[in-house]
Amino acid sequence: MTLPTDEGFLTTEEVLDYLQVNLRTVYRLIKAGKLPAVRVGRQWRFRKRDVDAWLESQGSRHDRQPSPPAAERDGRRRVLVVDDESSMRELMSKILALGNYDVDTASDGSVALDRMRASAYDLLIADLKMPGMDGLTLLRHAKRLRADLPVIIITGFSTESNAIEALNLRASKYLKKPFGIPQVLEAAAEALGAPAA
């Protein structure tokens, strides 16, 4: 089968670079039928528009709606992302979807706490600076609801005192913006693999 040589198609290496993920993740997405690909000999080719459409679908399906019960999720880990910026919530949803996480989002700490009272999450990722309830206050409340819940604090306004306070409050990780896809997926995996506090 001969594919057009224009820029509409991406090689496996180009997809790895474009999505900033490892080969195993791409193969898992192909096998699960989540990322359309065409086999050409021993290589895979991807339509860029298919990759973009898949990324779009990952962001749009998480628009503040709670996830289905665990029995309907195929055992995927549940993550709640809390950020007052919609673009950051969408970006984090797309990144975490690459790691096969089931993602819900909340625009503020109050909504996040309501979600956490109504349903169980495996990981909380919260922005440090938000109107109303900031990330550290949310972290305190989250730990009261569930002491062993892993929490990652993200921020573009990092100070040493904030980082120390977050760690003293038993945050699993403290990520400074800007960060890339690999850093988020690595932080999530580490937080979920760490022993309970």
pLDDT-derived band at 192 (thresholds 50, 70, 90) equals very high
The tens digit of pLDDT for each residue in 25-73 reads 777 777 777 778 887 777 888 888 777 776 666 554 444 444 444 433 4
Q: Which residue type does 99 have?
A: G
pTM of the full structure: 0.63
Would you state the pLDDT for residue 56?
66
Q: Is 160 exposed, middle or buried (0-12, 13-18, 19+ CB in 10 A)?
A: exposed
112-116: long-range contacts at Cβ-Cβ below 8 A with a sequence spacing of 24 or more?
112/80, 112/82, 112/138, 112/142, 113/138, 113/141, 113/142, 113/145, 115/66, 115/80, 116/80, 116/142, 116/145, 116/146
pLDDT over 90 at 92, yes or no:
yes
pLDDT over 60 at 2, yes or no:
no
CA angle 128, 75, 191 (to 5 degrees): 30
Pairing verdict, β 78-82 and 123-127: parallel
Please tell me the least confidently modeled range out of 17-26, 27-36, 159-168.
Answer: 17-26
pLDDT over 90 at 150, yes or no:
yes
CB 108 within 8 Å of CB 82: yes
Tokens 């050409």 correspond to 40
Backbone angles phi, psi at 41, to 5 degrees: 65, -120
For the segment 98-105, the average pLDDT, to the nearest whole number, is 92
The tens digit of pLDDT for each residue in 112-148 reads 999 999 889 999 999 999 998 999 999 999 999 998 9
Would you state the pLDDT for residue 7?
52
Report residue 38 as tokens: 């065409």
Percentage of residues of the chain with pLDDT beyond 90: 40
* Rounded Cα gap, residues 180 and 5, in angstroms: 29
Nearest CA to 95 out of 51, 129, 59, 47 is that of 59
Report residue 23 as tokens: 């080969």
